[in-house]
């Protein structure tokens, strides 16, 4: 079942987004909302049948709508947006989705307050935040917050306008995370890459039997 956004005669998502960029270009990562191609690539990297998904930096709801269209129930989606006007826009556009206004670094508290961490935690975090332009300390704090609420096999799906991961190797090693590249949205403006972050897994150590050790 698809859940459509609320219609009406309010301002368009593109105009709303652009106005917020004009007010504070350093806090809004792009001139316009992400395109549908990028949204499809982000949703494609979600685990199969996710029970709970958190979206960071909801913007005007491009990723939110894509997730709803792909079968994620509104009650299973928590959207975090720091910008107050974009937060109000999202609340009006998606009245059935839990949309909160807050800092991504406070994600564990927001998830707990919403009662969103029951039944083994969150399966995925979808991030529209501009990690590439953030200081490393801020990147680290956001990643720590995201993985504090993610289930052991959970993942964080992030896009960036650069060709490589926006999170440096040193930060990934410090947090015990791995990264792989997903798709590339050529038609997005500007073009964007998708990266998936997960907890690192140690190689399983095969036990050596006494007979093997003695060459028998």
Confidence of residue 12 (pLDDT cuts 50, 70, 90): low
Identify the three-state secondary structure at position 32. coil
What is the pLDDT, as a whole number, of residue 204?
A: 42
The structure tokens 């009662």 sit at 115
pLDDT tens track for 123-137: 999 999 999 999 999
pLDDT tens track for 44-102: 999 998 989 999 999 999 999 999 999 999 999 999 999 999 999 999 999 999 999 99
Q: Residue 119 above 90 pLDDT? A: no
Instruction: Name the nearest CA neighbour of 164 among 131, 141, 139, 187.
Output: 131
Instruction: Name the nearest CA neighbour of 28 among 60, 53, 63, 64.
Output: 60
What is the pLDDT, as a whole number, of residue 34?
A: 63
Identify the three-state secondary structure at position 126. strand
Mean pLDDT of the chain: 83
Tokens of 12: 């368009």
Instruction: Name the nearest CA neighbour of 67 among 78, 200, 85, 152.
Output: 78
Domain boundaries, the chain: 14-200
What is the pLDDT, as a whole number, of residue 5?
A: 54
Domain 14-200 -> CATH class: alpha beta
What is the pLDDT, as a whole number, of residue 27?
A: 47
Evaluate the omega torsion of the peptide bond into residue 187 and state whether it is cis, within 30 degrees of 0: no
Residue 101: enclosing H or E segment and its boundaries? strand 98-101
């Amino acid at each position: 079942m698809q859940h459509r956004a609320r219609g009406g005669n309010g301002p368009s998502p593109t105009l709303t987004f652009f106005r917020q960029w004009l007010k504070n270009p350093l806090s809004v990562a792009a001139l316009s909302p992400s395109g549908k191609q990028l949204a499809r690539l982000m949703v494609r990297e979600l685990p199969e049948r996710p029970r709970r998904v958190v979206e960071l930096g909801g913007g005007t709801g491009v990723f939110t709508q894509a997730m709803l269209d792909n079968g994620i129930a509104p009650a299973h989606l928590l959207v975090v947006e720091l910008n107050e006007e974009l937060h109000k826009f999202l609340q009006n556009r998606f009245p059935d989705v839990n949309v909160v206004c807050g800092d991504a670094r406070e994600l564990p508290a927001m998830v707990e307050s919403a009662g969103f961490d029951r039944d083994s935690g969150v399966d995925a975090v979808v991030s529209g935040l501009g990690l590439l332009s953030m200081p490393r300390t801020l990147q680290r704090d956001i990643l720590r917050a995201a993985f504090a609420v993610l289930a052991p096999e959970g993942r964080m799906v992030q896009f960036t306008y650069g060709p490589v991961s926006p999170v440096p190797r040193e930060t990934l090693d410090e947090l015990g995370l791995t990264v792989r590249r997903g798709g590339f949205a050529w038609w997005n403006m500007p073009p964007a890459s998708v990266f998936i972050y997960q907890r690192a897994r140690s190689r399983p150590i095969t036990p050596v039997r006494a007979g093997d050790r003695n060459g028998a």
